Amino acid sequence: MYDQATMLYLYVETPLHAGSGAGLGVVDLPIQRERVTGYPLVQSSGIKGKLRAEASDSQQGKNDSSAWKDKIAAVFGPDVKASEHAGALAPCDARLLLFPVRSLLGIFAWTTSRDALARFVRDANAAGQSFSWAIEAPPDESTAFVADNSDLVDADRLVLEEFAFKAVVKPFVKQVANDLVENALPDSPEYQYWRDKLPRSLVVLPENAFRDFTQFSTEVVSRIRLDPKKKTVQQGALWTEEHLPADTLLYAPIYASRPRKSGALTPDDASGVLQFVKDLGLERVQLGGDETVGRGLVRLRWA
């Protein structure tokens, strides 16, 4: 078992394409999704690989320090001889917590559901954060819960994309929003607008409606490659890609055990493993594909 755990929050700043390979549907390159729920996610291997790459590309890594390489091997596992021992760090998949949806009022809403919130509370409590929200589910498919000062509601009606809901004020929605502002959203000054907006823009949807928005309201873009001489699309070089929209909030529980390579870290235990990753000082990273066209910029916040 793991000795210590924490939570890593990922706020998507530019559309994120964590791909799952070629698709069989209308989208050529879909994003990664949970098999049962269909919710978008970023697989743990991508998160662990990015953290390792950032550690290797840090100043200590560029100095080619053998001591630094020993620390990386202790935390993430050996780079070449993987059979020697496993790494001590174990990130989980980055799961969906808040999904932005276009709104008739208030520009956009952050949507979630009882299912998504209940899973988050379970994962957060296991990772050392305590949330005790009295989460309720809307009574029917045409009702959504909002806070008392919502910017999204007019005459008790809420319109997201082309769908209208009856808006009902519930105190726990504001409690959820305030706790996420305090613990999950980036806390730097440039995020003050979004921290102020969340309590006024959070919506708890019926579970089926939330699932449908996460499946059908992602960004789908067309990409082409031109023939350099003809300036027309090259044969077979037109495809579509799916992206998680900007302003999505994800979370990933991060677990750590005692290093299997002794003597590399100080302290040489699970707390040293987590501290090593936090001390990398990462504020923004690029995840997924399309790095050279500015996709996948993610703001990080550790619990």
Cα separation, 27 vs 241, whole angstroms: 6
Where do the structural domains in the chain lie, given as residue ranges? 1-18+44-92+244-303, 98-217
Segment 214-237 mean pLDDT:
83
pLDDT at 299 over 70: yes
CA angle, residues 199, 110, 195, in degrees to nearest 5: 40
CA distances from 116 to 37, 137, 141, 283 (A): 10, 11, 16, 25
pTM for the model: 0.93
Summarize pLDDT for 65-114 with one digit per residue, the tens: 788 888 999 999 887 666 678 888 999 999 999 999 999 999 999 999 99
Is 16 in contact with 295 (CB distance < 8 Å)? yes
